[in-house]
Every structure is written in C-alpha cells, then in structure tokens.
Structure 1
Amino acid sequence: MGIDEQGREVLSFVPGEVPREPLPPEATGEDVLVALARLIRRLHDAAQGWTPPQGAVWATLPGTEAIPLVDTDAELVSHRDYCPGNVVFRDGLPAALIDFDLARPTTRIYDIANALYWWAPLLHPTDRTPALVDADIPHRAAVFADAYQMTEQQRHDLMPLAERMVHRFHLTSRAAAEADPAFRRFWNQGVKDRMPRAEAWLAQEGPAIAARLTGTTPDRNP
C-alpha cells in the first residue's frame, strides 16, 4: 500500500488460514481445487483489460534475469505463484490470494499451469504430500479445468506450456541458488532433486493428463 516515513512497506492484512507444507489432508480435496480454480478465474476476469503503468518494473528471482520467460504472449497481469503459502483459506476453502511479488504480464494458461503444479500437483509421487501420493492427477487436473471453465484451446495448450514452465522452474531454482544464500538453502534441502524428478515425471505422464483434459487418447512419448 506504500512506504511509511521510516522506509517500511505498508501491507494490508487478509484474515484466514494459510496451510503449511506438506499440505494436510483437509487441504487436498477436490472441493479445494474447485474453489481455487474459481478464485483464479475471478482474478483473471477482474484483471482482463487492465493496463499496467508505463515503465512498470517486474520482480524476478535473484540471478534469473537472463533466463527467458515462457509466458511472453501476455493477456493480463496476474499472480504467477500459487504455492500453498500464498493461498488464504476460510471455512476450509481457498478464499483469497496474498504475496503478489512475482506478479507480471502473463497468460491465463500459465497461471493455471502454475496452480496445478502446486495443487494437482504436477510432481513425482516422491515429492507430494502423503495424502496425494497415489492421487489421480489427470482427474484432479480435469476437476480444476472444469471449475475454471477452460476453453478447448486452453486445454489443448496447457500441458506443453506446463512442461516448459517446469523446465524453467528447474533453471531458475538453480540460478537463484547460485546467487542467493536463502535460495541455496532451499536448493540443498530438496529442490535440486525435486525439479529433475518433476520434469521426468511430467514428460512421462503429461500425455495422460492432456488426454483427460481434451477427451482424447494419450499420445505417450516413446
């Protein structure tokens, strides 16, 4: 909301509960996916048509400035970081979003892919919360897509974009770890192993997710 006379950021407060990771079982239900999808759709519809100020500067993770974005055909300005710590729950369901530090011009399907990465999730079973180790990820992605009311084209484009996004996550996580001690700690605590597993898992399972989203037969990579 601004800067005070002592140079401190002034923030608003959003009441509610923020789930810790690993997600507890009560934060992994399909009702959570539906509520989050509808919340993001409301954000997108509200942001559509808003033009950022000329010369606006967008934040990046340390050391990642030279890594190309994968969401360059911007449709709107949106959140782009739906990790559990940025989703506020009320009465057991997502009700608000916080921490817009990575917001920038993006696309709807990038934002959707980002949300699914965290909440489907698009992760190898080894790296999921226990409640979702055996989850039907194609089904969960379809539940989210239906609640958001994704178009046929968005469903077709989603998984190729998600694969590029996760690859970039790997690159930016490594670059940030090399540039900043805080990100180096995250990297060493497991990100360095989680990201290559996520890439390999998505390359294998992405066709099945895409098929569920589009109602087609999976075209698996050899």
Structure 2
Amino acid sequence: MDADEPELVLAADGVTHVVRRGDTVRRPVRPFSATVQAFLAHLHARGFDAAPLPLGYDEQSREVLSFVPGDVPVPPLPDWAVSLDALATLARLVRRAHDAADGWEPPADAVWGDLPGGPATRPAPTDGAPPGAPPEPVLVAHQDYCPGNVVFRDHRPAAFIDFDLARPTTRVADAVNALHWWAPLADPVDRSPALADADAAERARVFADAYGMTAEQRALVVPRALWRARRSTARMRAAAEVDPVFRRWWDEGVKDRGPRTERWLTAEAPRIAERLR
C-alpha cells in the first residue's frame, strides 16, 4: 500500500478521527484495540468474514482494519433497510457471529470498551442480569447494532463494523441490543419514520425465528430488554457527565428517550412475550 495514497475522512467528531486509505481503515489506537483485533482475528479464523479484518498498526501507530464495502443506512432509514427480509437476514448474521465467537477465550490482559463513565474496562464490563433470571452461557459479542454499524449489500445486512463495545455478554443480551435498534424496542415517537408504525412484537418474532432461538432464549428476551431499558438512562447520564459527545446527545434528547422507552416497553412487554412464544 502506497503511504502517499490520499486519505478520506470517514468520521471526525472531535474525539476520534477515522480515515480510509485504499482498502483499509485507519483509526486511533485505544486501550481496547488489541483485544478487538484479537477477537476479529478469531471470528475470521472461524469463518465469519462479515466483519473487518484486523491488519495491525501503521507507521503512524494507528489501528488498521480492512474497509468493508457496502451501504450504511443513515437516518431517516430507507424502507429497504427495515424490511422483514432485512430483519431476518440481520438475525441470521448475528447468529453466525455468535456461533463463530462461541468458545473464544479472551487474552488474560483483555481490555474492553464501554461507555464513558461506565465500569472499568478490566475486568470486562457487565450488563448484569435480570433478577431471578437463569444463568446464560457467556460469549464475546458486538453489543452495538445501531444502523451505522451494519453494512448492507443488495438491501440486506452483510457485515458488522465498529466493534468498540464488543465484550463478554450472552446471546440473548446481544440479540436484545439488535432488537432495540431494529424491532425497534422504542416508543414510536422516537423511531425513524420508516419504523414509526412497525409492529415491534411481530418483528421480534421474525428475528427470533430467523436466529433460531430456543424456547428458553425467547422467554428471556423481554426480561432482558426491560433490564436493559432500566439501566440505559443511568449509564448514558454517567457518560454525559464525562464526555462532551455524550453530553450533546443527552441534551439533544437522550435524557427523554430513555424514560419513554422504559414506559413503552413496560406496557408492550406482555404482547411481545406472547408473540415470542
């Protein structure tokens, strides 16, 4: 790769600076970069190629990853990004990632990303578990399936990018993260227009069917989603206290969306649970 090849800025928010050079992406090294590179290498070794390939570090000591071609939907989401076919494809992609990750033993010195103001990055941050929930096997997973981190090709999800929040979790907790964004598990007033009238309960069923969730996993979706919603606002508030980007998001509406999500999900929980059975 020619070091003089021009660089195209992909993201520059005052906190991070991500560029594309040829078929690679360059980004600042962070405490968890080596752990994420090891995880991505494992996924590729297990045949999961729907993620960036870790390529080490460049002459400027930046992390280097392969560029993942495709379309990343941005708000307002286009209709093709929220179709039931796209949702089912997403669920199957999440399942493939989980199957590839299953059994991976992170390095003893692993460092994990988290929201600013969150738990220490070593040992791994944890989302906890709903009170009384049965134990679930732990695996490392993406944990941030917002539309900006899902690459589409031919109007279907084809890859995941930005593994900064990857950490030990469970299959159900990670699936709930995907459902939060893509069912979506949110009050209709906070959804993209293309999903404003979506039947979240039916879309949760489509996701669970495509993923191949067991009856036991389906029964955990709603308790896990409620647990996530109840903790999300507190975590975002803590992040806003120490990070200017999160402070801006908080002031622009996150402080209101979190409580709305919790109220909406509490009301809809029985119907979602029934549809998942």
Q: TM-score, normalised by structure 1?
A: 0.92
Displacement of 1:55 after TM fit?
2.0
Question: Do 1:178 and 1:184's aligned partners in 2 also have CA atoms closer than 8 Å?
Answer: yes
Q: Give runs of ≥4 in structure 1 deviating > 4 Å.
A: 71-74
Q: Does 1:53 align with 2:76?
A: no
Counterpart of 1:109 in structure 2 is 172
C-alpha separation between the residues in 2 aligned to 1:156 and 1:38? 19
Counterpart of 2:93 in structure 1 is 39
C-alpha separation between the residues in 1 aligned to 2:256 and 2:77? 19
User: Which structure is larger by alpha-carbon Rg, 1 or 2?
Assistant: 2
Q: In structure 2, which of residues 194, 211, 216 is the aligned counterpart of residue 131 of structure 1?
A: 194
Q: In structure 1, which of residues 24, 27, 30 is the aligned counterpart of residue 78 of structure 2?
A: 24
Q: Which has the higher contact order (CA 8 A, sep 6+)?
A: 1
Aligned residues: 214
Q: Which has the higher strand share?
A: 2
Q: Which has the higher helix share?
A: 1
- What letter is aligned with 1:57? V
C-alpha separation between the residues in 1 aligned to 2:136 and 2:271? 26
Q: TM-score, normalised by structure 2?
A: 0.74
Displacement of 1:195 after TM fit?
0.7
Question: Do 1:75 and 1:105's aligned partners in 2 also have CA atoms closer than 8 Å?
Answer: yes
Q: Does 1:80 align with 2:138?
A: no
C-alpha separation between the residues in 1 aligned to 2:178 and 2:150? 10
Unaligned segments of structure 1, at least 5 residues? 215-222
Could you give the per-residue CA deviations for residues 195-216 of structure 1, whole angstroms, max 9, x where no partner exists? 11001100110111011101xx
Change (3 A) 1:8 1:68: closer
Could you give the per-residue CA deviations for residues 70-113 of structure 1, whole angstroms, max 9, x where no partner exists? 25955211101100000000000000000000001110000110
Displacement of 1:190 after TM fit?
1.3
Counterpart of 1:63 in structure 2 is 117
Counterpart of 2:222 in structure 1 is 159
Counterpart of 1:219 in structure 2 is none
Displacement of 1:166 after TM fit?
1.6
> What CA RMSD, in Å, does the superposition of the two structures yield over aligned residues?
1.5
C-alpha separation between the residues in 2 aligned to 1:207 and 1:138? 10
